Each structure stands twice: as C-alpha cells, then as structure tokens.
Amino acid sequence: MSPPSSLTCGSPPRTFCTLLLFLLLLTSLWPISLLYFTWLYLDWDMPNQGGRCSTWMRKRTIWKYLRDYFPIKLVKTAELPPDRNYVLRAHPHGIMCIGYSCNFCTESNAFSQQFPGLQPFIATLAGLFRLPIYRDFLMFSGFCSVDRQNLDYVLSENPCGQLVVIIVGGAREMLYSGPGQHCLNLLNRKGFVRLALWHGASLVPIYSFGENDIFNVKTFPAESWQYRCQMTLKKLVGYAPCIFFGQSFFSAKSWGLMPFPRPITTVVGRPIDVPQVLHPTEKDVDHYHTLYLKALDRLFEEHKESCGVPADAHLTFL
C-alpha cells in the first residue's frame, strides 16, 4: 500500500496551498481567501506560542497506514517521568524526518501510552509557518517553531511534562543522508544544550535507525564545484539543496520520489539530568554536550545490530 503524504511533505504541497489562495482571489470565491488572510494575520504568532496540536489529528487511522508502509517502530529503553521537561534532538535528519513525524506527531505507535503524562512538541524551521494553510496543517499535527521565543515559551509554560523534539541540522546532514550513512552535524551544535540548561530540562538521546535508507542521495566530493555550490547556498539561504530519489508511485523498480519501504526504528534513550543554570558558562555547555555525545554514541552501538545496521558501522560527528 502506498503511504499518505508525509507530515513533513515537500515543496509541491506547500506551493499548491499558497497558489490556491491567490488563485481564489481571481474568482467569485475570493471571500474565502480574504477571510483566511485575515485569520493568518490574527494567528501569526501562534507557532511561537507552542502551536496548536490536535488530539483528533494525532489519532487518525491514516497515520497507521503511513507507519505500516515502512514500517516504523518506537522503542522505549527507559522511563521518562512526567515530573520534568525534556529536550530531544532528532538524529539523523534524513530527507523527511519521517520516523520522528510518525512517532511523536501521531498516536500510530501509541506514544501517549508508552510515555504517559508527556506532551510532545516537534520544533522545526520557523519559515515553514509562513506558508498559508500548510502552517495550519503542521501545527495541528504537533509542529511548532524552533525559534528561541517558542522553545522558551513551551518549556516555561509548564515546569513538567513537556517534551520538545528539535529537528535541526538538516541543511548539512541531508547531504550525508543516503543508505548506510550515519553522519551527524553535531560537534558545533550546542544550542539545544544551552536550552536544556536555561530551563533545567533533561537531555534525551534518540536515534532513528533506517531514516537514511528511504531515499538514495547523490553526494559530491568536498573539492567538487557541486559541493561548493551547495555550501554557498547554505550560507546564503540556510539550506543546502541535495539530489535524492526513491521509487515510482506505480512501480518499486522505477525511479521516483516515493520513499523506499525500509524499516525505521526510533530508539529513545535514557535521560541525562541537567540542572537549571540561567547563565551557563562555556564549560557548563561543553560538559553536558560531551555527556550527550557519549550517550548518543552508546545508544547507537547498543541497538545498531538489532536494527539491521552492520556491526562495523559507527557514528561520525561532523
């Protein structure tokens, strides 16, 4: 069975939603667009106030079809007591972050039963919430802005029971997201550690095995002109375009943009207790960043073979 559109679907749906609103302005249905743009103006700050997660949306049966297509699993290795807040960073980013979308934005793998008392928030690029209609779909699905303003709001609104999954690092990690790749853009990414220290939220290592296997990605040598173009665009717009492909919608043997049905297993590790430090020093940040890297590497090594990863594969931190 073919899967429904991903929770983090690509540019065609985003473009369609935007064009549709402007095209309606040229028809007798123009009041619909006018009403929506009025709503958009009044609701503009909602992505920076925790979003608007819908329990009804999370529990739709369609997400079970999405889960079963790959299939996608959620593995819990330790309890996450709801008496505190948590900060998780999605690894690896992959092309679509489909494992995290399915496991944390829906109830297809019974998140609320496995982690009772926790409210998940999936933080992603703020620019996505400037796209009409698409922004509302994202928020109903549990996404919110990764901007500091929103993360502070979520973790300050309630001192316990908030679980923030941060989807960042994609611009560079996407270039290394082909099958068999386990490269993480993490060595110089420490903002999530500062966030945890500011709010006294526990850090939790997680890894989605198989996330990089659902698309083939064309990589270029670091000295090539193609790679230099990618890095230049990354500096200019914050996004490094990559060339990827999957299978055809009609045939698994032909080229297309449908993801390959490869198993994805998201493993949630043990929490790392972090004290609240309103003014953390670089030493504080480096200490907990190092603890996190070690915990993530240990999680990968303990579960890689059971998730179909060769024993000689190891994480590479960029």
- Kindly write down the DSSP assignment for every residue of 214-260, as one continuous string: SSEEE---TTSHHHHHHHHHHHHHS----EEEEE-SS-TTSEESBPP
Same domain, 55 and 28: no
Assign 237 a pLDDT band (cuts: 50, 70, 90): low
Number of domains within the chain: 2
DSSP symbol at 272: B
Same domain, 23 and 126: no
Residues 6+ apart with CB under 8 A from 245: 215, 216, 255, 256, 257
Residues 120 and 163 sit within 8 Å (Cβ to Cβ):
yes
Same domain, 16 and 91: no
Q: Measure the CA angle with vertex 167, ends 44 and 196; round to 5°.
A: 90
On the question of pLDDT at 5 being above 50, the answer is no
Sign of CA dihedral 227, 228, 229, 231: positive
Sign of CA dihedral 221, 224, 229, 231: positive
The domain that holds 205 is classified in CATH as 3.40.1130
Q: Which of 67, 155, 138, 79 is nearest to 108 (CA)?
A: 67
SS (H, E, C) 90-117: CCCCCCCCHHHHHHHHCCCCCHHHHCCC
Is 218 domain-assigned? no
Same domain, 162 and 137: yes
Is 315 domain-assigned? no
Is 2 domain-assigned? no
Same domain, 289 and 195: yes
Q: How confident is the model at residue 257, as a pLDDT?
A: 82
Same domain, 163 and 29: no
Name the 3-class secondary structure at 291: helix
**For residue range 254-273, what is the model confidence (pLDDT) as tens digits?**
788 889 999 999 999 999 99
**pTM reported for the whole predicted model:** 0.86
- Paired sense of beta strands 264-268 and 206-209, if any: antiparallel
Sheet holding 255-256, edge to edge: 216-218, 243-247, 255-256
Residue range 66-71: average pLDDT? 95
On the question of pLDDT at 152 being above 60, the answer is yes
Residues 58 and 113 sit within 8 Å (Cβ to Cβ):
no
Q: Which domain holds residue 31?
A: 11-41
Is 238 domain-assigned? no
Is 244 domain-assigned? no
Same domain, 92 and 175: yes
Same domain, 80 and 126: yes
What would you measure as the largest C-alpha separation in the chain, in angstroms?
Answer: 63
Same domain, 84 and 59: yes
Is 235 domain-assigned? no
Same domain, 82 and 187: yes
Residues 6+ apart with CB under 8 A from 77: 267, 268, 269, 270, 299, 303
Same domain, 168 and 51: yes
Average pLDDT, the chain: 87
- Which residue in this structure is represented by tokens 């390959």? 260
Is 108 domain-assigned? yes
Name the 3-class secondary structure at 32: helix
